[in-house]
Amino acid sequence: MNQPQRSINGITVNAFSSWDDILDRVGCDPKLYVAVNAEKIIAAPQEIRDAINANIGYCDGAGSVMAMKQKGVKDVARLPGCELWLKIIERYHQQGWKFYIVGANPQVHAATIEKLQQEYPGINIVGHRDGYLKDDAERQALIDDVASTQPDAVFVAMGSPKQERLMRDMQQRHTAVYVGLGGSYDVYTGAVPRAPLWWQRHGLEFMYRFLRQPSRWRRQLHYIPFMWKYITRQL
Ligand code: UDP
């Protein structure tokens, strides 16, 4: 069942060879599934590294696939987080799984729930809320609700590291499959366009996002130390 693993700059990453490979694991190993990309490899704070290492990191970006290959793993697929959650729903919603949906602004959040109900008739969403938690009391109420509704899978789209912190705290109260999704609901509802296939296939999705949302430039700077460490084999 267990896939090959490598430590990349202190983050343990699992080499899943295909969608079926990760979906089989999701079905029998309820943990946090954390998308690992160049940015996390370089910049994730230690508490997030610890959470990934205690759970399941997978290759969401072209950078993590390159690093795995450099470390001798041949059969590793890039599995973007923005597709993983939908594949989990596709495979498991007819098997009676219960889902909990968290994240994005109130408009995108509402549109996400509506679209899921249209695309997956009968989907069992046991709870949901947008990602803008005003205070600790709201955060705690959300964690309590997840514990009491007992979902099989919880999707949290709030950006990193906020979503990983929240999922880690939820996991302490209730065991389930947790997937952090960043801006995936924005893409799902069409609020933000996804990179065209050519960019995706050439490992340039990050560049497309940068060109569409130049305000992300600070985050893209992490690719420079990433490439340096890759070229000098220090990852
Ligand atoms: N977001 C949220 N709560 C917050 C901050 C952000 O729900 O407190 C949402 C935001 O609306 C967007 C997503 O989190 O949908 C962040 O997307 P981003 O592109 O930054 O994430 P990435 O995919 O790069 O991790």
Cβ(37)–Cβ(205) below 8 Å: no
- CB 181 less than 6 A from any atom of ligand 1: no
Give the whole-angstrom CA distance, residue 216 versus residue 175. 34
Q: What is the C-alpha separation between 194 and 217, in angstroms, rounded? A: 17
The length of the chain is: 235
Q: Tell me, what's the pLDDT at 89?
A: 98
Q: Which amino acid is at 66?
A: M
User: In this structure, which residue's CA is closest to atom 6 in ligand 1?
Assistant: 158
Is residue 213 in contact with ligand 1, taking CB distance under 6 Å?
no
Q: Model pTM greater than 0.85? A: yes
Q: From CA 164, how far away is CA 169, in angstroms rounded?
A: 9
pLDDT by position in tens, the chain (length 235): 689 999 999 999 999 999 999 999 999 999 999 999 999 999 999 999 999 999 999 999 899 999 999 999 999 999 999 999 999 999 999 999 999 999 999 999 999 999 999 999 999 999 999 999 999 999 999 999 999 999 999 999 999 999 999 999 999 999 999 999 999 999 999 998 888 889 888 888 888 888 888 887 888 889 999 999 999 999 9
Answer yes or no: is the C-beta of 186 below 6 A from any ligand 1 atom: yes
